[in-house]
Amino acid sequence: MRARYSKYILNFKQASGTSRGVLHTKETYFLQLIDGERTGVGECAVFRGLSADDRPDYEEKLKWLCDNINLNQVYLLNELAEFPSIQFGLEQALLSIQSKEKFVLFPSNFTNSKDSIQINGLIWMGDKGFMKEQIEAKIKAGFSTIKMKIGAIDFETELDLLKSIRANFSSEEITLRVDANGAFSPSEALEKLKRLSNFNIHSIEQPIKQGLVYEMAELCLKSPLPIALDEELIGAFDVTKKEKLLQTINPQFIILKPSLVGGFNGSEQWINIAKKQHIDWWITSALESNVGLNAIAQWTYTLQNKLPQGLGTGSLFTNNIESPLEVNQGCLHYNNTKKWYFKIF
């Protein structure tokens, strides 16, 4: 078997704001396996500025993988422990090359177009007018769960936006999630969570920066609304470290991005630990192209988690890979009457 990789730059349709800054492009890599007539493909979706594997030797590790692709698969995945997005790309490519259809990694009612996955509608940061416009568009498009990124503009303005949603839609009609991406300081976080709780918020993701373990634990204990760990999980490679982290913080939810936490295997390890501690969870994509999003969605469907998932990022890019993935009425569908168009290699 041979392997090769190719770098690909995804271009956002419009600049997307987070508390870390504005995104215009997203770098990713495609890994291809070749074995005679069979080929497989996976996406190594490094997230610059966020991934634990955002390192100068990233491409060097990809080259190492290609040079050593015929070594034992368990050994390869272990050697890639500090490169979770490459682990994920390899997992996908191995499933792909073994599949009857290159992009059907987990055959199910989802890939047969008989069922769909409920997802949240994502609201990017921006000025009040832009965010209000997005909210109205998501509600009109049939989303019953909306996730709003907060922490980049004035907090009072963000509260006004949430207030305007609740003035028109009850928590039974629209579920609200917010994602602070670590924007709050520990000293102000609890007061802000109290104010947010007035709007029947389902949960808040990562209210303070990752790494403040004891501050986060105290916040989870005192918070009037449920807290979901997101960035906090990044860089915890060892199972003992994962267990200790969740035991110490004891959040209400964890959010799993396979590209950032070691693919399917890494995510399932987190899920098993969380279940033991009665911590709920859901799956989110991390700005992958449709290749990675497709893999995450198919795997997510097999888990049968009834919460809305965070898989609505496929329409963000002007040059995404054409695929059967479609969003309709707040759900992600796999329309198998549509074909893949993947011409990278």
Tell me the CATH number for domain 2-98: 3.30.390.10
Whether 149 sits among the annotated catalytic residues: the reply is yes
| Coil, helix or strand at residue 313 | coil
pLDDT at 16 over 80: no
pLDDT given at position 19: 54
User: Residue 157 and residue 154: Cα distance in Å, rounded?
Assistant: 5
What letter represents residue 51's amino acid? Answer: S
In this structure, which amino acid lies at residue 152?
A
Per domain, the residue ranges of the chain are 2-98, 117-334
Whether 267 shows a pLDDT value over 80: the answer reads: yes
Banded model confidence at residue 328, pLDDT cuts 50, 70, 90? very high
pLDDT at 135: 87
Mean pLDDT (the chain, rounded)? 94
Candidate list 26, 149, 192, 242, residue with the active-site label: 149
CB 124 within 8 A of CB 146: no
Amino acid, res. 61: K
Range of weakest confidence among 52-56, 115-119, 125-129? 125-129
Q: What is the pLDDT of residue 213?
A: 97
Tell me which DSSP letter residue 231 carries.
Answer: G
Would you call 130 helix, strand, or coil by DSSP?
Answer: helix
* 331 Cβ contact partners less than 8 Å away, ≥ 6 residues apart: 116, 117, 118, 119
- The fold of the 117-334 domain, in CATH, is TIM Barrel (3.20.20)
> What local confidence, expressed as pLDDT, does residue 211 receive?
95
